Amino acid sequence: MSDPHQARGRFAVTVLGAVFGSAALLAVLLTTAPTPQEAKADRAAPVLPVPVMEVGASKTPDVVTVPEGAIMTDGDGQLFVTVRQDGEARRVDVRKQGVGDGGRVLVRADGLEAGDQVELVAVADAALPPEQG
């Protein structure tokens, strides 16, 4: 809030009273309280950008490589990735064709091309090196 005199939220009134012998002391405290929407906005966690990685080309026509951490499965068992383009997200169903190098999977999909950006849903899996055992 840039203007300290700007009204915000709702007013809350607190009445304090005390009796000392035959004299009574009364104090009224007037404060402002944020509305529920303002309180929620103040507590809201920052929105972090969704990490993305580029779709890669393969030697096989009509097959591209995507990071393993970008592939999701819907309730019917269909594999898909989410493509980010111009701030918009769109779902693209994929068919797994094999395993590529470096945590990438070979997939076939209509509407998915090398250079597209796909959202990562398993960032830790895509970013961590293999376990040493």
Q: Is 30 left (phi over 0), alpha (psi -120 to 50) or beta?
A: beta
Domains, the chain, ordered by start: 10-43 (no CATH), 52-127 (2.40.420)
The per-residue DSSP string of 107-121 comes to: EE-TT--TT-EEE-S
What pTM value is reported for the model?
0.58
DSSP type of residue 68? G
Per-residue pLDDT of the chain (133 residues; tens, 9 = 90+): 444 444 455 555 566 666 666 666 666 666 666 777 777 777 766 767 778 899 999 988 899 999 999 999 999 999 999 999 988 999 999 999 988 888 899 999 998 999 999 999 865 544 444 444 4
How many other CB atoms are found less than 10 A from the CB of residue 61? 6
pLDDT value for 5:
45
Rounded to whole angstroms, the Cα distance separating 99 from 113 reads 17
